[in-house]
Amino acid sequence: MCGITACIGTADSVDPLMSGLKRLEYRGYDSAGLAVKGQDGLSLTKRVGEVSELASAVEQDSLDGTFGIGHTRWATHGGVTNENAHPHTDESGNIAVVHNGIIGNFQSLRTELEANGHVFSSETDTEVVPHLIEESLRDGATPEEAFRSAVGRLSGTYALAAIIGDEDAIFATRSGSPLVLGIGDGEYFLASDVPAFIPYTDRVVYLHDGDFVVTTRDGYTISDAAGRPVDRSVETVDWDPETATKGGYEHFMYKEIHEQPGALRRTIHGRLNPLSGGVELEEFPSGTFADVRQIHLVAMGTSHHAGMYAASLLSALDIPAFPFMAGEYAVTVPPVTPGTLVIAVSQSGETADTLDAVRRARAAGAKTLALTNVVGSSITRECDDELLIRAGPEIGVAATKTFSSQVTALTLLAERIVEDVTGTASTDAAEIIDALSRLPGDVQEILDTSTSRDVAAEYQDSDAYFFIGRGVAHPVALEGALKFKEISYEHAEGFAASELKHGPLALVTPFTPVFAIFTGKEDEATLSNVKEVQARGAPVIAVTSDRDGEIAEFADHVLSIPETHPDVAGILANVQLQLVAYHAAKLLDRPIDKPRNLAKCVTVE
C-alpha cells in the first residue's frame, strides 16, 4: 500500500528520501515520486515503475533540496501514470502533498474546487488537498492554518505530509493510515513505517489518529485538530538497520523464513512456565478471561489462517471459537452476545478490513483484543487489549515468520483462556508448553534439512498444486496454497481433506501434485484421502514426522518434520510449505518479495 517518507534538517534531503522510498518498497507500489525544496524553490520528479527508475530520473533532473517529501503509490483512484503518481501540487506548483489512504468525499470537493477555477492535473482523490490548501492561503490563512482547514474538509482515511509555500516546514497528519515521526540529531523524519528512516534514527513517536505535526529544522510540535498541544512519548526501537534489510539473503522472504527460530524465541520468551507446565502472559494475568463465553477471530489472508488454526484449538478445548474473514464480518452479522471476545489478528495492525471488523465488534459490545506484530499500530489503539507476537519486522509481501509467531502466540493465549474459563489447565497443557519450548529448535532442524527445493524442481511443470489437511492442518493447507499462488503465480488451492470427494477430486490428475499435511491427529482419515488422489495418478508429497511408517510408504515424497505435539505440528509443516513455495517461485524467476498486484499492508477495504 502507499508509503510516505519525509525529512527535514538533513544536509541534503534527496538521499534520505530515496533510501526511505527503497525501504518502503515492501509495502507494494506501482509508481513513486518526491518533491524537495531548495534555493530554487520546489522541484518534483515522479515516475511509474520501480524506485530505481525514479532514482535515475532524480539524478537526471539534478534534484536538490534541503527538505522534502516522497511517496510510493499503489493505485486506487486513477490509472498507473506519471500524472497520478504523488506528490500532487496546486496550480502554482508551490504546494506539494503526499497521501496514503482514500479520501471518501474527494468527488464533491473536486467539483466545488473546479467551480472555483482550480484546474486538476490528475485523476486522484489526493489532488483535492493541495488545491484546498491553496484556497485557504488565498483567503489569508497561514500555511499551518491552511493545512488544518484542508484536512478539516476531508472524510475517509489518510496520512498526509505537505510542503506549503515559503515555509521551511513539513506539515503532517493521520487518520486511519499509519504515520510515524523519527527524531534524529537536528534531523526529523516522517514515514508510513519505521524502516524508512532506521539508518538515520531509532527514536520514534507513534502518531495517533487526529495528531497534527509540524516539523522544522529546529524541532517538532504535535497538536490535536483544535491546535491544543498533545504529548506523545518518544520510543526507542531496537531494530538495527540490517534487521530491516536483506542481510545477505537474496530475498526478504527467504531471510524471514530463516529468521523463524529467533522470532519464535521472542514470541515465547517469558511466556512459558516449564515448572508449572502453564502459560504466563504478563499482559493477561490469571483470571483475565474468566467471563469469556465465545470467541470470534477476525483477520484477513495469512492472519485469517492463523485465526482458523486458533479456532480449531479452542473448539477442541470446548471454548466456542469462530474464525471470520474480517472483510465478511459485516455481512455475516455474527451474534455478539455477553461474554464475546473478539480477537483481531493482524501482522501490520493496519489492515482496513480487520480494523473495520474491530469497530463493528466494539459497537456491538464485544471486548476486543489485538494480536499484532507492530507496536503502536492502529489496531492496538482500537482494541481494548493487545498481545504482541514479537516476530520483528517483516518486509516480504508474503507473510512467513509472522504466521508462525501468530499461531504460537494464539496457542499460548488459548491455553490462558481455557485455564481462566474452566478453572484448570488443558489436559495437554504441559506437553504443549514443552512442544512450544522445542519449537525454535525444531524449525531450525527443518531449515537445515529440508528437501523442499528438490520437490519444487521435480514438479515445476505441473498444471496445478493442491494442499489438503484436517483439523489444524486445514488452515495450514490453505496457507500453503496461498503462499504458493501469491509468489509463484501458479494455480494452487487448499482444501479440507474431507472436502476432496465432494468436488475438488474432479480436478486431480497425474499433473496435479497434492501436498498432504499430517499432524499426528486424524492421520488415518487423511491417509485414505491420499490413497484416493493416488488412485487418480496424482503424485503425493506428505508433510509428516512419520518417516518410516505407512504415510511414508504411500507418499511419493516426504517433507519431514520433527516429532512434536499435534497442535504444534501444523506450525512445522507450514515451514516446509513456505520453503516449497519459495523454491518454486525462484525457479520461475518471480519477483518474490513484491508479487504482482499485491501489497504488504492493505489499508483500503
Q: Which residues pair with 492 in a beta bridge?
A: 465
Question: What's the Rg (C-alpha) of the chain?
Answer: 25
Q: By C-beta, is 370 or 530 nearer to ligand AGP? A: 370
Taking CB under 6 A as the rule, does residue 578 contact ligand AGP? Answer: no
Q: By C-beta, is 58 or 602 nearer to ligand AGP? A: 602
Q: Return the C-alpha cell found at 288.
A: 483475565
Q: Per-residue string for binding with ligand AGP, 528-567, x by CB under 6 A?
A: ----------------------------------------
Q: Return the C-alpha cell found at 249.
A: 539473503
Contacts of 101 (CB under 8 A, 6+ apart): 2, 156, 157, 158, 159, 175, 176, 177, 603, 604
In the complex, the smallest distance separating the C-beta of residue 398 from ligand AGP, rounded to whole angstroms, is 4
In the complex, the smallest distance separating the C-beta of residue 490 from ligand AGP, rounded to whole angstroms, is 15
- Mark whether 501 is an active-site residue: no
Letter for the amino acid at 153?
Answer: R
Contacts of 72 (CB under 8 A, 6+ apart): 2, 3, 21, 24, 25, 27, 29, 31, 32, 51
User: How far is the C-alpha of 61 from the C-alpha of 66, rounded, in Å?
Assistant: 16
Contacts of 552 (CB under 8 A, 6+ apart): 542, 544, 546, 558
Distance of CA 82 to the CA centre of its chain: 27
Catalytic residue among 2, 7, 383, 601: 2
Q: By C-beta, is 553 or 605 nearer to ligand AGP? A: 605
Letter for the amino acid at 560?
Answer: S
In the complex, the smallest distance separating the C-beta of residue 595 from ligand AGP, rounded to whole angstroms, is 9
Q: Return the C-alpha cell found at 127.
A: 489532488
The residue behind cell 509443516 is 573
In the complex, the smallest distance separating the C-beta of residue 399 from ligand AGP, rounded to whole angstroms, is 4
Task: List the end-to-end C-alpha distance of the chain, in Å, as a whole number.
Answer: 12
Cis amide prior to 130 (ω within 30 degrees): no
Taking CB under 6 A as the rule, does residue 1 contact ligand AGP? Answer: no
- Mark whether 601 is an active-site residue: no
Q: By C-beta, is 340 or 574 nearer to ligand AGP? A: 574
Taking CB under 6 A as the rule, does residue 192 contact ligand AGP? Answer: no
List the one residue out of 518, 511, 459 whose CA is nearest residue 484: 459
Taking CB under 6 A as the rule, does residue 100 contact ligand AGP? Answer: no
Asked if 162 and 144 count as a contact pair (C-beta separation under 8 A), the reply is no
In the complex, the smallest distance separating the C-beta of residue 14 from ligand AGP, rounded to whole angstroms, is 31
Element spanning 273, H or E: strand 272-273
Taking CB under 6 A as the rule, does residue 527 contact ligand AGP? Answer: no
In the complex, the smallest distance separating the C-beta of residue 368 from ligand AGP, rounded to whole angstroms, is 15
SS3 of 386, please? strand
Q: By C-beta, is 232 or 491 nearer to ligand AGP? A: 491
Contacts of 198 (CB under 8 A, 6+ apart): 23, 237, 239, 240, 241, 244
In the complex, residue closest to ligand AGP by CB: 301
Residue among 33, 178, 301, 334 that touches ligand AGP (CB under 6 A)? 301
Asked if 571 and 407 count as a contact pair (C-beta separation under 8 A), the reply is yes
In the complex, the smallest distance separating the C-beta of residue 350 from ligand AGP, rounded to whole angstroms, is 7
Taking CB under 6 A as the rule, does residue 245 contact ligand AGP? Answer: no
In the complex, the smallest distance separating the C-beta of residue 148 from ligand AGP, rounded to whole angstroms, is 31
Contacts of 477 (CB under 8 A, 6+ apart): 467, 468, 469, 494, 495, 496, 497, 515, 517
Residue among 398, 417, 439, 575 that touches ligand AGP (CB under 6 A)? 398
Taking CB under 6 A as the rule, does residue 397 contact ligand AGP? Answer: yes
Say how many C-beta atoms besides its own lie within 10 A of residue 500's C-beta. Answer: 21
Taking CB under 6 A as the rule, does residue 603 contact ligand AGP? Answer: no
Q: Return the C-alpha cell found at 33.
A: 515520486
Residue among 43, 124, 302, 312 that touches ligand AGP (CB under 6 A)? 302
230: left (phi > 0), else alpha (psi -120 to 50), else beta?
A: beta
Q: By C-beta, is 157 or 347 nearer to ligand AGP? A: 347
Looking only at residues 337 through 396 of this chain, which bind ligand AGP when binding is defined by CB under 6 A?
346-348, 351, 354
Q: By C-beta, is 253 or 435 nearer to ligand AGP? A: 253
Q: By C-beta, is 213 or 257 nearer to ligand AGP? A: 257
Q: By C-beta, is 109 or 325 nearer to ligand AGP? A: 325
List the one residue out of 269, 240, 17, 157 whose CA is nearest residue 603: 157
Stretch that binds ligand AGP, among 10-18, 175-183, 301-309, 453-461 (CB under 6 A): 301-309
In the complex, the smallest distance separating the C-beta of residue 511 from ligand AGP, rounded to whole angstroms, is 26
Asked if 283 and 413 count as a contact pair (C-beta separation under 8 A), the reply is no
Size of the site for ligand AGP (CB under 6 A): 15
The residue behind cell 515516475 is 47
Looking only at residues 461 through 490 of this chain, which bind ligand AGP when binding is defined by CB under 6 A?
486
In the complex, the smallest distance separating the C-beta of residue 600 from ligand AGP, rounded to whole angstroms, is 6
Quick one: how many helices (H) and strands (E) in the chain?
Answer: 18, 26
Taking CB under 6 A as the rule, does residue 601 contact ligand AGP? Answer: yes
Q: By C-beta, is 370 or 433 nearer to ligand AGP? A: 370
Taking CB under 6 A as the rule, does residue 263 contact ligand AGP? Answer: no
Distances (CA, A) of 354 to 213, 327, 330, 446: 27, 7, 11, 32
Q: Per-residue string for binding with ligand AGP, 484-523, x by CB under 6 A?
A: --x-------------------------------------
In the complex, the smallest distance separating the C-beta of residue 214 from ligand AGP, rounded to whole angstroms, is 30
Residue among 7, 109, 300, 559 that touches ligand AGP (CB under 6 A)? 300
Residue among 35, 399, 473, 575 that touches ligand AGP (CB under 6 A)? 399
Catalytic residue among 521, 594, 600, 601: 600
Say how many C-beta atoms besides its own lie within 10 A of residue 337's C-beta. Answer: 11
Q: By C-beta, is 252 or 518 nearer to ligand AGP? A: 252
Catalytic residue ranges = 2, 600
The residues binding ligand AGP (CB under 6 A) are 300-303, 346-348, 351, 354, 397-399, 486, 601-602
